[in-house]
Structure 1
């Protein structure tokens, strides 16, 4: 999978992933619905199952590689109380090309 940081124009997939994270963390009603049932919240989002799973499972590395803005990823981690160490390790794994990268 090519990174959108290399592509000239981000993909529709990256747009929708960014949109989901923005909406969830900038609109309380979206956050409440997401926390209640992420799968139901994501049902109407035009994303491949793999990308919906990455959002649902908080797979930071996969979301970053798919072109999600790192600031939105950071807000996602803060909003869901994902530890800073998990966020940073996920990004480091991408940079090092490790198993999660």
Structure 2
């Protein structure tokens, strides 16, 4: 869980990490030691899955903003609704 939280924080604070995550998510996940279920959730940026797995909602929300997820889309995704 620490690796996930650290990556979410770093995406928010460091443009190079954000760029790495968006262009080569596997490399980003490897560098933070993220494996198993969290790896799949982060690779897909499954907001609802991450939230339900216990990821800090503050870090998740502000990371989503950095990844240019629209606020309405974020809330729809956290509720498990599909968006067009």
Q: TM-score range by the shorter chain?
A: 0.7 to 0.9
Runs of 4+ in 1 over 4 A off after TM superposition: none
User: Helix, strand or coil for the counterpart of 1:56?
Assistant: helix
TM-score by length of 2: 0.78
TM-score by length of 1: 0.67
Partner of 2:47: 60
Partner of 2:2: 15
User: Helix, strand or coil for the counterpart of 1:46?
Assistant: coil
Partners of 2:65 and 2:71 lie apart in 1 by 8
Greater C-alpha radius of gyration: 1
User: May I ask how many residue pairs the two structures share in their alignment?
Assistant: 81
For structure 2, which runs of at least 5 residues remain unmatched after alignment?
none
Map residues 16-95 of structure 1 onto 2, 5 A cutoff: 16-93=3-80
Structure holding more helix per residue = 2
Alignment RMSD, CA only? 1.9
